[in-house]
Structure 1
Amino acid sequence: MATIPLPKIYTISDLTAEIRATLEDSFAGIWVTGEMSNFHQHSSGHMYFSLKDETSQIRAVMFRTANRQLKFQPKDGLALLVYGELSVYERRGEYQIVAEYMEPKGLGALQLAFEQLKERLQAEGLFDDARKRPIPMLPRRIGVITSPTGAAVRDILHVLRRRFAGVDVLIYPVAVQGDQAAPEIVEALGELNRRGGLDVVIVARGGGSIEDLQAFNEEMVARAIAASRIPVISAVGHEIDYTIADFVADLRAPTPSAAAELVIARQDELMQRIDDLGSRMAGIMRSRLHGLGVRIGGLDRHLRLLNPIERIRVQRRCLSDRWQNLTALADRRLTAFHSRLQTTAGKLDALSPLAILHRGYSICLRLPGHEIVKDGSAVKPGDLVEVRLHRGRLRCHVREVQAESCHEPSRGGPALSGSTGLTTG
């Protein structure tokens, strides 16, 4: 009679341990793709999440020692490519993926990290033009943070010597690639700000892949540039390359050589500009001085007119002119009046009875009333009369009055017409 073997009876722990061993042996070093969900990062630094597709999901964990190397920030909804091993969490009897590496599916981790950091810093305002400082037009001392052996430093020095010989340049050597590059760049910026004496700093390196330029996409470098008191020019890679440093810096140059072109003008161009500005200034000053001279002349004339002494002088000149005009007018009127007077006097002389006396006639006046005696009957013997001659006068007493015809001449000489002959004594 055959013996029936007894079935193996597992404890829960034994079964779970055996399942774990089987899974870990069969699914070690696997790649899994799926969409991240339920992401949570514990205070310990471990990351817990799920990967899912259209019909299924699986839990996953990425411990702190592994996720420190991530270049991007995981979040729900990302399509991921995860490398790790399948394991069983014995306390719950659940299997999960222990992730050792992951990257965004279809988009490199570095590119995703770049976009995430760019979006976050932009939201903080680190890219705003309002916070960026102007680059001095003519810096006296320029700092350059770059590799001392790369082509970038040679290009910068060559262009600076060609454009403005004698400008002072301080080279601060740093690694521009690798894990130590970002900390060294941050330290260089801090040291140059503490040292002072620089007008502008150029952070530069030549071109390369996104991995080569990663130091200039690090958050610590971006914040160090933003915190710099010295204006910073970012000159990283080629013209098509953009880094986070380019967005935060006060000025972005497409290449290191272009940074040297932008940081200082050509010496001959500056001299020509100074000459042009000097000529323009001289012309403007001449024009201004001429205008001010004209204005001062006008104000001087105005002040002279307002000056009481000047006003008296002006009024005196005006009065003198008017006096001369009045004198001339009076002279003309006096001359005309004198001429008229002479004419009238001539006429009066011609008409005056006294003019007849010159021809030998006389006038007899009865005194004391001085009435002209025209008729002998007007007087009587004994009356006192005055005879006015051409020269002199006679006072006589009438001795005799003789009546005679007015048409007969007087025997005693000429007589006035209509008078009566008198005999005087």
Structure 2
Amino acid sequence: METIKKDIYTVSKLNGEVRQLLEGNLSRIWLTAEISNFSAPASGHWYLTLKDSRSQIRCAMFKGKNQSVNFRPSNGQQVLVRGNISVYEPRGDYQLLIDSMQMAGDGLLAAQYEMLKNKLAAAGLFAHDTKRALPNNIQRIGVITSPTGAAIRDVLHVLQRRDAGLEVVIYPAQVQGDTAPAQLIRAIELANQRQEVDVLLLTRGGGSLEDLWCFNDEALAHAIYQSNLVVVSAVGHEVDSSISDYIADIRAATPSAAAELLSKDKQHKQQHLQQLSLQLSRAWHHHLQGRSQHLGLLEQKLYRQDPKRRLQQLSQQFDEAYYRLHTAMTFRLNQIHLTLQQQHSVLMAHSPQHTLQLQVQQLEYLQHTLQQRMAEMLSDSEQRLSKGAQLLAAVSPLATLKRGYSITTDEQGNVIDDAANLTLGQTVHSRLNQGQMVATVTHIIP
């Protein structure tokens, strides 16, 4: 039987250590994805899911952070976010705590640029001790650029003016578009294979971030770094900056400035001084970048120990508890309402008022039936009476009188129907159809 170890974790302890492990090993990251399941409860915090075609991750952006977002997020929207990986301990879910959000587009390119620059800097490709100085005696310059662009015209014009004896070898390549990085890499490799020039100039004119994007290619950066020939980068205008500028041995502000740097004249010492100044500036920049990275690590450490982190966890937990309570109360109220409706129906079915209504309805029905039955009986009686009257009239003596007959009675009112019952001198009464007469019997005929 396996011996139970003394160090037994609770779920809370395990989730807490996982959170510290993730927050300690994953620094602040950039992420681009599509928003789904966005919600904004009354607390002011935002909860959402970021997803691509294959995966998704839960995210939270607390009130103090989302107030700086200049648009209202919605489901289906592509965004670029920056945040820290953490663990929501009560549920054991890992999540991204967002501190910056912007619409995808130029912001994505800028973020990709910064990510690649940080990656190459961490790999040592920007290190000052890897940079090489210009050869002392430059006789032939290799120019990698578009043969029809403005940059080559500026370079040739400056070289012709300052040192017409310099030879120029052009290695044509596209300097814009998806296929440009591969052509630029092939040009660098070809120049290194031929070894026919003393220095390489990688250049093009100014443009937007998208126009210059091919000079921010990681493969091109490694090709420049691995070049045996000294590489001078002069991409865009003075304010423009590309990865090739950081990787190259020397960076010039413009194509014309690069041509002046590569050509000899009385200003050579001044240009060399400018080069040293640029190298010093780069070294200072790298020093500041290193200090910035160190500061970022300290900031991450401080962030993990910040009491606001616990408050954010509790605030998120409160929002979820409030949602569950609201759902449970709504469900319970619906059940109570349904039960009350059922009990009301039962009560109404057994209430005296309901019974009285039924009895009133039954009484009204019986009264209607009685009246209808009495009317039918009265109608039947009238019909029978009418028939009886007709029959009585048919057999009535009065009807016989109407035909000219009469009824003779004695003084007592007895009907005389036999002459033998009469006596001479007897008074008789005869009833006619109209009126009566009194007669005295004077003659009897048997």
When normalised by structure 2's length, the TM-score is 0.41
Structure with the larger helix share: 2
When normalised by structure 1's length, the TM-score is 0.42
Q: Which has the higher contact order (CA 8 A, sep 6+)?
A: 2
